[in-house]
Amino acid sequence: MSRDPELWLPAAFNRGHAYRDRVDRPAASIAGFYAARYRHSDQAVWMERLAAGEIWRNGQQLQADGALSPGDRLVWHRPPWQEAAVPVLTQRSIVFDDGDLLVLNKPSGLPVLPAGGFLEHTLLSQLQAWAPTARPVHRLGRFTSGLLVCARRPASRAWLSAQLRESTQACVHAKAGRSCRKLYRTLCAALPSDWAVGATKPITAAIGRRCHPLLGQIWCAALPGDPAALPSRSELTLLERRPETCLVEVAIATGRPHQIRIHLAAIGAPLAGDPLYRVGGTADPQVLPGAGGYLLHAHALSLWPPAGASLHLKAALPPQLAEGDGFTEA
C-alpha cells in the first residue's frame, strides 16, 4: 500500500475483457441482440465489432452478422481501453483493521468494483495487492468518499452484509439487540426556510426504475403506482445554511441504489453539483449514474462485528463538509 496520501494511479490501458452472454430466445441479428443488451453502442457499432472479429459464438470467431438460437453462447472480446486516473489507497486510508474486518476511508473518484468503464482501476484491485483475501462488503459510488467495510472471511462478509442491507432504524439481529447505523454528510440545494437548523425530518420516497435512453432503465423516485417500487427511508438533519447550499447529515435506514441522491432530489434539494438527479427525483436523460461533481461522504458508522463489542467509527470530513464556516443560522 502506498504511503503517499496524494498519489494517483495515472490513466492507462487495461488488458481488455471478455463479456459472456447466453441467448435465451431467437434473434434475427447478432448486432441487434447486442444493441438491445448493451445500449451504450448502437447496431452499426456492433456490426463494426463483428467485422473486426471481436465476437465469438459457440467457440467460433465471427466476422458477419447472423441469426441466434436459444442456448447460443456469445463472447465479446473487448479490446484494451484506457481507464481514467484514480486515487491510490494509502496507509492513512485504514480506519480499522483487526485481521478480519477492514474499514477504509475511500477517496472520492475511486470505483469500488469493476463497472462503468473501469476494470482494473478499482479499489478491489488495489486491495488485492496488499490484502489478498479482503473483499468489500458493500459499495459506495465512485464519487462517494468515506467509510467502506471490507472483510477477509466469507462468513464475516455475510454477517456484515446482513447488517448493512436494512440497517439504521431496525435491528437486524433483534434477539441480540444489534443494529447498524450509517451517517453521511453532503451539500444540497437550499432547503425551505421553515426547516430549522438542527431539525430532522424523514424522507420516505419509494425508489424504482424508469426508462433512460442511455441505459434502458435507471433508478429514480418511483412512479406512482409502481408495483416494483422499493420502500425506502432516510432521516435528513439540517446542520448549516450557506449562501447557496445547505450542509446536511443523512442517516439511511435502507440501502437502495443512489438513495441519498434520489431522496434529496425528490424533496426539491438535489445534491449540489449532481448532474444526474433533478428536482422531483427524476434523472437527466443524457447523464449516467457515474458522473461526478457532488460531495457525498460516508462519515460515521456503528456496527457489530461477528465477534466482539460494537464498533463506532468515523472518517475524517472533507473541509467543505465540516461545520463552522460562519454560515450557521443564529
Residue identified by cell 456490426 is 47
In this predicted structure, the answer to whether residue 170 has a pLDDT above a threshold of 50 is no
User: How does the average pLDDT of the chain come out, rounded?
Assistant: 91
CATH 3.30.2350.10 placement within the chain: 1-8+87-165, 180-330
> Range with the lowest mean pLDDT among 20-29, 32-41, 263-272?
32-41
In this predicted structure, the answer to whether residue 166 has a pLDDT above a threshold of 70 is no
Q: How confident is the model at residue 178 (pLDDT cuts 50, 70, 90)?
A: low
Which residues, in sequence order, are CB contacts of 293 under 8 Å at separation 6+?
143, 273, 274, 275
CATH 2.30.110.10: does it fit domain 180-330? no
230 vs 204: CA distance, rounded Å: 10
86 vs 121: CA distance, rounded Å: 7
Q: Is 211 exposed, middle or buried (0-12, 13-18, 19+ CB in 10 A)?
A: exposed
Bigger pLDDT: 245 or 306?
Answer: 245
| DSSP secondary structure, 140-198, as one string | --TTEEEEEEEESSHHHHHHHHHHHHS-SSS-TBGGGTB--EEEEEEEEEPPPTTS-TT
Model confidence over 224-258: pLDDT tens digits? 999 999 999 999 999 999 999 999 999 998 889 99
Model confidence over 116-149: pLDDT tens digits? 899 999 999 999 988 999 999 999 999 999 999 9
Model confidence over 182-201: pLDDT tens digits? 999 999 999 999 999 999 99
Q: Residue 209's pLDDT is what?
A: 96
217 vs 285: CA distance, rounded Å: 10
> Range with the lowest mean pLDDT among 162-166, 175-179, 215-219, 311-315?
175-179
| Angle at CA of residue 140, ends 239 and 183, nearest 5° | 30
Q: Residue 328's pLDDT is what?
A: 47
Question: Whole-prediction pTM value?
Answer: 0.88
Give 201's strand partners. Answer: 236
User: Under CATH, what is the fold of the domain 1-8+87-165?
Assistant: Pseudouridine synthase (3.30.2350)
User: Under CATH, what is the fold of the domain 17-79?
Assistant: 3.10.290
In this predicted structure, the answer to whether residue 3 has a pLDDT above a threshold of 60 is no
Model confidence over 5-16: pLDDT tens digits? 469 999 999 999
Q: Residue 222's pLDDT is what?
A: 97
